[in-house]
Amino acid sequence: MDRRADAIAAALGEAGDVAFVRAPGRVNLIGEHTDYNDGWVLPMALDLDCLAGYRPRVDRVVNVVSLDAPDDIAPWTEALLAALAEEGRKPAGIDAVLASTVPMGAGLASSGALSIALGLALCRVSGLELEPPVLAEACRRAEERATGVPCGFMDQMVAALGGPREPLLIDCRSGSVEPVALPADAAVVVVDSGVRRSLSDGRYAERRAACDAAAARIGVPSLRDATLEEVADDPVARHVVTENERVGRMVGALRAGDLEGAGAILTEGHRSLRDDFAVSTPEVDALVEKLLGLGAHGARLTGGGFGGCVIALVSRDRVPHVDRVVCVC
């Protein structure tokens, strides 16, 4: 545990023992805006996490406090209670306090970590055990209801399943998960662009609506089923189709220990997000170019876009010295 545990225990008071659960944030190596298109993603859990301390109550009152965002937690709590009730959770009281080291608005899934940590605590006081994919989907529904953002379930899946330095190849249609090891000489550097982002401002929903419209126009269930020829004249859909292909190539490159090839795929993915999907910013683009100039094998924005963090794939003996490094994995 860390100092947050003491702060959480102090906030809960001295009424009894405190139990703890945690859920990590994530960085997505490749596979951006493919999850809600039934595609493939390759995210990895971070050492940064949301820590929840809790104790059950004898009544059915639910008290949840966030030490980071006290004004924003009520909608999450209500949405999570409703989603977990749909999975069989019986009413049970809880006092819970949350504290997170995952920076908000940085594209590192702070909300996914929060929802899984709180969801685990709510399940445990009620005696409900859910398989990680079921819990992840319940938390995804809760996040969509709480924020209005039609998100995929990648973030919640990683928060429920992921471990440090263990990328997970997730098939977002079947829900299957396959670990993909990072080469021993590889490091992933996460750098904050300094541009805060919010997926609830409508631009994320606009991109998802464009993807749904493209699939309907082509006549396929989702863009996962589209061919490059079918989307050649549609930049938004073209990004999704080519990004799914990049996920497969990235898995092959990592398994072969080909850092140069894997880095080239990262940079290719950034250009697609910048030029076709149009979710980058000048500050993010400049940071990508800076990291490449400092010797990174590849770099790109990570997360939904419109700001947040950039990731760079580097050799462990050549980690660049730049400002606003969030973590090195």
317 is annotated as an active-site residue: no
Q: Which residue has 């464009």 as its token pair?
A: 210
Classified as helix, coil or strand, 257 is: coil
Residue 298, burial from CB neighbour count under 10 angstroms (0-12, 13-18, 19+): buried
Classified as helix, coil or strand, 30 is: strand
What is the four-CA torsion angle of 227, 42, 173, 176, rounded to 10 degrees? 130
Contact 222, 38 (CB under 8 A): yes
Structure tokens at 193: 């662009």
Could you say which of 49, 95, 155, 234 is catalytic? 155
Pairwise CA distance, residues 60 & 84, whole Å: 15
Classified as helix, coil or strand, 178 is: strand
Q: Decide the pairing of beta strands 298-301 and 309-315.
A: antiparallel
Q: What is the DSSP letter of 87?
A: T
Contact 227, 218 (CB under 8 A): no
Structure tokens at 250: 């990235």
Please state, in angstroms and as integers, the Cα–Cα distance from residue 212 to each residue in 40, 129, 217, 220, 237, following that order.
17, 34, 9, 10, 9
Pairwise CA distance, residues 282 & 17, whole Å: 49
**Amino acid letter, residue 227:** T
Pairwise CA distance, residues 31 & 246, whole Å: 7
- The residues pairing with 95 across neighbouring beta strands, listed in sequence order, are 55, 63
Cα dihedral 242, 248, 251, 254 sign:
negative
Pairwise CA distance, residues 96 & 307, whole Å: 31
Catalytically active residues are 155
